[in-house]
Amino acid sequence: MPTLRTLPAGARRANPSVAADLGPPLLYSAGMSVIDLRSDTVTMPTAAMRQAMAEAEVGDDVWGEDPTVNSLEERAAELLGKEAGLLVASGTMANLVAQMAHVARGQEIIAGAESHLVVDEAAGHAVVVGASVRQLRDRPDGTLDLDEIEEAFRNPTDIHEPPTGLVVLENAHSHSMNRPLPPPYLAAVAAIAHRHGVPLHVDGARFFNAAVALGVSPRELAASADSVAFCLSKGLACPVGSLVVGDRAFIGRARRARKLLGGGMRQAGVVAAAGLVALADGPDGMIDRLAEDHRNAKRLVEALAALPGVVSPGGIAQPGDGPLDPERVRTNFVLFRVERDRRGFLDALRAGRVLMEEYPHGQIRAVTHHGITGSDVEATISAVGAALDATTRRSATDPVAAGHLQGV
């Protein structure tokens, strides 16, 4: 039997002020169980995390007196080979304090047009940092073209132009099917940035998925970056928190930025304790086990690709139409389209107690994570087959069916 997760009785519906519509309340009554593949953010803290949180030694972290936060920040820095680390509330805040620490108002950031920082962070770069973004075309392997990066730098002596202040890469890169960017590529981008006197920041919300998929150490993957942000609250299963790492001077500025944003927390060791469990070496921690999520994603994509009605996600996730290519999956994201009405398909799937997420370009996203077992994957494959049978056949490239007009 698959290990279905039970939603708490109180979680009858998502907060209506959150844009994502979770659909009819069918599943959210007490006792109903789901296989929730919408995101790895739905992961629950482990028993070891809850115990560590309950027993955490704490202090006032704004005064630098929380020993558990200090340990977590040191552990993160050590793991990624940097001088210092900073615990913040979220991945968005991690990217924001990094931008504030690297970039002066009126400067410009070079980043991918489909990156989270550009698309999904409520324009914090403009609203808070005061920076414009020079958006480059993300490629299907998650990279930006090196020549285009080189050409994107502004002329610092021309007073008309915003001086370039930062280059940002996303690793793993979500919209390309969460593909990992390897160390030599990061080194090449860093070399260009540094030649222009500009730092490289890596948005590594799923940094450890990338490291595990590539078979390299986090330190090796972080080596060329001046700063890296990573999330505890995604595949690592912590309830909250992200970290930024870099040199001491950078972290000092990021700490000031965190305070400015109202992100200074007090006895945050309660949260940090879960992070220390997640970042432990070997089977006690949550990093090495990401390989299991990747294997589950591979099994899922191979089975989905064989189902008539499941097709290529298109976009940079898998350019072009035609069959879904299992080779595109390198980490824990499976993106695809269905030759069906997408909403109808997802509702039918939900009726089968499996949740997936609408994704841009008419895609559907299924994310494997700590809460998903091998038998959940098998149950999902059956549920997808049933949902395809239950929904009307339409072209996946039909703009309405595919959701191009839904602004997802």
Please give the single-letter amino acid code of residue 375. S
Closest CA to 396 of 344, 351, 354: 344
- Find the shortest distance in angstroms from Cβ 242 to ligand PLP: 6
What character string, x for contact with ligand PLP (CB under 6 A) and - otherwise, covers 234-263? --------x---------------------
- Strands 363-367 and 357-359 turn out to be antiparallel
Beta pairing partners, 244: 86, 229
**Residue choice 38, 82, 102, 116 for contact with ligand PLP (CB under 6 A):** 116
Residue 398 and residue 364 in contact, taking contact as beta carbons nearer than 8 Å: no
- Find the shortest distance in angstroms from Cβ 155 to ligand PLP: 30
What character string, x for contact with ligand PLP (CB under 6 A) and - otherwise, covers 124-163? ----------------------------------------
Rg (CA), the chain: 21
Q: Which two tokens stand for residue 222?
A: 């972080």
Within 8 A by CB and 6+ apart from 284, the residues are 48, 277
Dihedral, CA atoms, 339, 340, 343, 347, nearest 10 degrees?
Answer: -110
Closest CA to 41 of 212, 310, 232: 232
Choice between 164 and 171, CB closer to ligand PLP: 171
Q: Does 269 bind ligand PLP (CB under 6 A)?
A: no
Task: Measure the CA–CA gap between 250 and 295, rounded to whole angstroms.
Answer: 37
Give the residue nearest to ligand PLP (CB).
Answer: 91
Q: Footprint of ligand PLP on residues 183-212 (CB under 6 A)?
A: 203, 205
Q: Footprint of ligand PLP on residues 156-175 (CB under 6 A)?
A: 170, 174
- Find the shortest distance in angstroms from Cβ 178 to ligand PLP: 9
Residue 383 and residue 372 in contact, taking contact as beta carbons nearer than 8 Å: no
**Residue choice 77, 231, 265, 348 for contact with ligand PLP (CB under 6 A):** 231
Task: Measure the CA–CA gap between 286 and 283, rounded to whole angstroms.
Answer: 7
Within 8 A by CB and 6+ apart from 94, the residues are 88, 203, 229, 230, 231, 242, 243, 244
Choice between 37 and 205, CB closer to ligand PLP: 205
- Find the shortest distance in angstroms from Cβ 331 to ligand PLP: 12
- Find the shortest distance in angstroms from Cβ 177 to ligand PLP: 13
What character string, x for contact with ligand PLP (CB under 6 A) and - otherwise, covers 62-101? ----------------------------xxx--x------
Element (H, E) at 383: helix 374-390
- Find the shortest distance in angstroms from Cβ 205 to ligand PLP: 3
Residue 230 and residue 221 in contact, taking contact as beta carbons nearer than 8 Å: no
Choice between 233 and 368, CB closer to ligand PLP: 233
- Find the shortest distance in angstroms from Cβ 381 to ligand PLP: 25
- Find the shortest distance in angstroms from Cβ 47 to ligand PLP: 23
How many chain residues bind ligand PLP (CB under 6 A)? 12
- Find the shortest distance in angstroms from Cβ 391 to ligand PLP: 28
Residue ranges of alpha helices (H) inside 103-214 are 116-119, 124, 146-152, 183-195, 207-214
Choice between 203 and 293, CB closer to ligand PLP: 203
Choice between 122 and 187, CB closer to ligand PLP: 122
**DSSP classification of residue 322:** S
Closest CA to 330 of 162, 167, 213: 213
Choice between 2 and 263, CB closer to ligand PLP: 263
Give the footprint of ligand PLP on this chain (CB under 6 A).
90-92, 95, 116, 170, 174, 203, 205, 231, 233, 242
